[in-house]
Amino acid sequence: MKTNNVAIRFDNISFNYPQAKECLHNISFEILSGEKVLLLGENGTGKSTISKIIDGILKPSSGDIYIFDKKMDDDNAPSIREDIGLIFQNPDDQFICSTVKEEIAFGLECKQVDPSKMEEIILSSAKKVGMSSFLESEPSSLSGGQKQRVALASFIALKPKILILDEATSMLDPKGKKDVEDIISEMKKENKDLTLIKISHELEDFYSYDKIIIVKDASLFFIGSPEKLIKNKNIINQANINKPFFLNLLDNLLSSGVKLNNNVDSEDKLIQELCQLKLKS
Ligand SMILES: Nc1ncnc2c1ncn2[C@@H]1O[C@H](COP(=O)(O)OP(=O)(O)O)[C@@H](O)[C@H]1O
Ligand SMILES: [Mg+2]
């Protein structure tokens, strides 16, 4: 069951990189504990910057961020980060150790986990991502999908309360992508309170999310349920995010005069509508 605790609160956050135009302007939103959130926006709109602010890697130029009601500051940022897992787009960006085993152990050592328990945690985390036979391998020798699975194993070991996937599957082939998605679904099944944020520039599988946040021109452009978004198709067009195939097809069919229910909100429903049409004709 989802609880109503606020996991992340952005309160009027603005951010500027040195000598660059404003990257984030007065952004406010709340993400509840256990929510599954899709954070969308075209490239360069500040999504990765938001993820780094949540993870305490970047400090806002103004505004406050609260993680589980704790206002983040210089002193508590390192301990708050222990509850957050952030997986980047490029799997090579996140490894610092020379073997998979050391990589998974690294976070546990930082968290000062009892060394006698480490071996078991490392093994079970590697097993959950199907990487137990690669413990002695060098992370750089692995495929992109395997690297992301190792990154996930490191976080499974640390039991984060918040997991952010910053375009984490965008460089993977379909099999690598599915493997990672299956592991994340499994993590969510095992821990319903895990707050999950997926960052993407594509509106994919959006109905499986509790909340969708869209950023555009440095500002918050939309926040709401998938149902609310689908009723405001203009928002999807204005935000310049890639639409799922069925939405493109639906728009084209409607504009060419095909009489279809305008509220079709999934590929399955579009197929049903088209079948009905065929039966009627
Ligand atoms: N280290 C940096 N220094 C200066 N500008 C940056 C830096 N990182 C990102 N930016 C700029 O900030 C904006 C937002 O970047 P980013 O958060 O990576 O967007 P997104 O993840 O949505 O593609 C972009 O215009 C980008 O060029
Ligand atoms: Mg990015």
Tokens of 7: 């996991």
Sheet of 62-67: strand order equals 24-32, 6-15, 62-67, 70-71
Q: How far is C-alpha 66 from the chain's CA centre?
A: 18
Q: Is the pLDDT of residue 196 over 60?
A: yes
Express each pLDDT in 34-93 by its tens digit: 999 999 999 999 999 999 999 999 999 999 999 999 999 999 999 999 999 999 988 788
Express each pLDDT in 202-244 by its tens digit: 888 888 899 999 999 999 999 999 989 988 888 988 998 888 8
Entry pTM: 0.90
d(CA 128, CA 187): 9
Q: Which of 23, 51, 198 to mutate to test the pocket of ligand 1 (most atoms within 8 A of CB)?
A: 23
Out of 127-141, 150-164, 240-254, least confident range: 240-254
pLDDT category, 273, cuts 50, 70, 90? confident
pLDDT category, 1, cuts 50, 70, 90? very low
Q: Is the pLDDT of residue 147 over 80?
A: yes
Are 194 and 163 in contact by the 8 Å Cβ rule? The answer is yes
What is the 17 CA–ligand 2 centroid distance (Å)?
Answer: 14
pLDDT at 268: 85
Closest CA to ligand 1's atom 18: 48
Closest CA to ligand 1's atom 5: 17
Closest CA to ligand 1's atom 12: 23
Q: Which ligand is nearest to the CA of 41?
A: 1
What is the 166 CA–ligand 2 centroid distance (Å)?
Answer: 7
d(CA 182, CA 149): 11
Which protein residues touch ligand 1 with a CB less than 6 Å away?
17, 20, 23, 41, 43-49
Q: Which ligand is nearest to the CA of 45?
A: 1
Give me the amino acid identity at 83.
D
